[in-house]
Chain A
Amino acid sequence: EDQVTQSPEALRLQEGESSSLNCSYTVSGLRGLFWYRQDPGKGPEFLFTLYSAGEEKEKERLKATLTKKESFLHITAPKPEDSATYLCAVQATYFNKFYFGSGTKLNVKP
């Protein structure tokens, strides 16, 4: 069964304290893996797409990486404005559906 698991469920960091969020997946043929940021009461905002193992994408303090079984979202020297829930999703090769993890709620304290 296709599924996505994110860990940890919640993460509290001090401003400037770097860390990583994990997204592990099982899917029959990966078409793409996606990272989103969601602020409270709002729709998810697209961050990155990764297509193949070894691929990396960067945006400001965020860097996403992909292996054959998992993806990491690395946050370098986070700021309080990085506080949000980060969602991971995968799309299988032969389907129009997307499978989402339950998210990691990040809280960065000043």
Chain B
Amino acid sequence: SQTIHQWPATLVQPVGSPLSLECTVEGTSNPNLYWYRQAAGRGLQLLFYSVGIGQISSEVPQNLSASRPQDRQFILSSKKLLLSDSGFYLCAWISGSWGEQYFGPGTRLTVT
């Protein structure tokens, strides 16, 4: 069966510090991968998606970036965090290019 992992689960970082969030998927190959951010009481905002290794599409031009160094690994990064980067970050995958998404447990990021 397929499993998706995210870490860390919780992170508190000062403004201006770097960020690295990791997402890995097990039990499938060549998934489409997605990064979302969810503000408190709000819906999901798509940040990045990837259809393959090294292929990243950006939906929100901010101080965030994403990389996919391996087939089942997706990384969200920032060189300098802003207060507005606080939120709940979710990674998701689908098999192929369409169908239901399966989400990881999320990372709660607080920028102070």
Contact = CB atoms under 8 A, between A and B. Distances in A.
In this complex, the interface size class of chain A, counting residues with CB under 8 Å from chain B, is 20 to 34
A101 B44 CA distance: 8
How big is chain B's contact interface, by range?
20 to 34
Given A96-B32, A97-B46, A43 B108 contact: no
B44 A42 contact: no
B100 A43 contact: no
A85 to B, nearest CB: 9
Q: Which of A89, A100, A103, A105 has the most B CB atoms < 10 Å from its CB?
A: A100
Contacts of A31: 98
B103 A32 contact: no
B104 A43 contact: yes
B43 A100 contact: yes
A72 B37 CA distance: 25
A25 interface: no
B100 A46 contact: yes
A103 B41 CA distance: 8
B7 to A, nearest CB: 13
Interface of A: 4, 6, 31-32, 34, 36, 41-46, 49, 87, 89, 91, 96-103, 105
Interface of B: 32, 34, 36, 41-44, 46, 49, 51, 57, 59, 88, 90, 92, 97-106, 108
Given A34-B100, A41-B106, A44-B44, 4 more contacts: A46-B100, A96-B98, A98-B101, A102-B42
